[in-house]
Amino acid sequence: MVFKDKVIWITGASSGIGEHLAYAFSEQGAKLILSSRNLQELTRVKQNCSQPDSIRILSLDVADFEQVPTIYQQVKEAWGTPDILINNAGISQRELVKDTAFLVDKKIMDVNFLGTVAVTKAVLPDMLVQKSGQIVVISSVMGKIGTPFRSAYAASKHALQGVFRGVGRAHG
């Protein structure tokens, strides 16, 4: 059980990849912090995990950048600095550029890119001080290519690729 007692914070944990990561890490005995905007769905995920007593749920909209440091402080109060941060929160889009409202483009960048950066910038200094920790960023093949109906989504994933290649190489 490689992840037994590891502290893992998963954003976007109320559905999809994040939900299933929660189940897998719970099976391994990890201490989890599950975050998303949907508290009701987070509660459902926690209840469906094999070890719900080792899980804390914290409501978080990663696009509410001012909220991120406060939520991270609650993460530390629950289990300490995470051993692993899984940046999974994200939204998608399927629409031609000409038909996509600018506010949709902005929202996608705020959630998928800037939200991930904000959460990482909250956690990274503590990981550097303790000289341990892993940061996982869920991206997509869209981080490598673009298609007519996924332009803003692809742009947000391209941005993640650029920033986190730098973080991985320079440790900060």
Among candidate residues 3, 79, 113, 153, the one labeled active-site is 153
% the chain with pLDDT above 70: 94
What is the gyration radius of the CA atoms in the chain, in angstroms? 16
Q: What is the pTM of this model?
A: 0.93
Q: What pLDDT was estimated at residue 158?
A: 87
Alpha-carbon separation of residue 14 from 6, 18, 45, 86 (angstroms): 20, 7, 6, 13
Residue 72 bears catalytic tag: no
Which parts of the chain sit beneath pLDDT 50?
Answer: none
Question: What is the C-alpha end-to-end distance of the chain, expressed in Å?
Answer: 30
Residues sharing a CB contact under 8 Å with residue 104, sequence separation 6 or more, in sequence order: 93, 95, 152
